[in-house]
Structure 1
Amino acid sequence: MGSHSEQVTIGAFAKAAGVNLETIRFYQRKGLLPEPDKPYGSIRRYGGVDIARVKFIKSAQRLGFSLDEIAQLLTLEDGTHCSEAAEFAARHLVDVRARLKDLKRMETVLSRLVAQCDSHRGTIACPLIASLHSG
């Protein structure tokens, strides 16, 4: 975005970062994004560093990191904490794998129940509903 990126309004900032205005304000309230000073009689301006930070936050969210975890990652972003960031990500990976295991189990159970529903058409008792009542 060149030098123009150093002097953008919050609306242009949000557009450049690919988020809506309220997302910017929310990140500021959460302490994930600094709120620039507002010069007297003027409006706040945002730069390329701010856009990169929002993109970092969104990328981390897509990997399943919570906002609190992202705040921790942001403290490690200066490039000198690679081993700490790797340990942090390894712990997150353990959680992701556990969730995947749970999702696979849920998929297996739901697939079985849907198949039972398909095989019991026309009966009064639905196997899915009955299973949920007994579980």
Structure 2
Amino acid sequence: MAMTISELAKGAAVGVETVRFYQRKGLLDDPRPSHSGRQGRRHYGAEDLRRLRFVRSAQSAGFTLAEIAELLALDASQDRPRARAMARSRLEAIDQEIARLEAARQSLRKLAGECAKGDAGPCPIIAAFEA
């Protein structure tokens, strides 16, 4: 099943420019015929769509483009121990971000409660962020 770049982009729910960006970064192949020196039409297959979806999912999980490139290389070399180590490291970073967000939520909840106690004096929410 050959797809155009717009069909590939639509299949992964991204824009055409996103596909081109990933190609420039080396995360996706650019299948244009280059032997003639002319700009040709791109034709993509199911593997290209699978790879594009992987890149988007890995980005959503917080991996950087460099890490995604490394994961793709690890997949080709079947280096699962390194892939697991990268996943564990990303999980640790996510856990730290969750802890930071939970602390921020608790602080805001406390400030909102203090603010609701009355209208006299400075707003505790604004005062807290000015400090």
Counterparts of 2:78 and 2:67 in 1: how far apart (Å)?
A: 18
Give 4+ residue runs of structure 1 displaced > 6 Å after superposition: none
| Residue-pair matches, total | 128
Candidates 120, 126, 129, aligned match of 1:129: 126
Identity %: 37
One-letter code aligned to 2:46: G
TM-score, with length taken from structure 1: 0.85
The C-alpha deviation readout for 1:95-119, integer Å capped at 9, x for no partner, is 1111111111111111111111111
1:48-127 equivalence runs, <5 A: 48-78=46-76, 80-120=78-118, 122-127=119-124
Q: Which runs of 5+ in 1 are unaligned?
A: none
For the aligned residue pairs, the C-alpha RMSD in angstroms reads 1.7
Counterparts of 1:14 and 1:67 in 2: how far apart (Å)?
A: 18
Q: Which runs of 5+ in 2 are unaligned?
A: none
Q: Give, in angstroms, the shift of residue 78 of structure 1.
A: 2.4
Candidates 27, 46, 57, aligned match of 1:32: 27
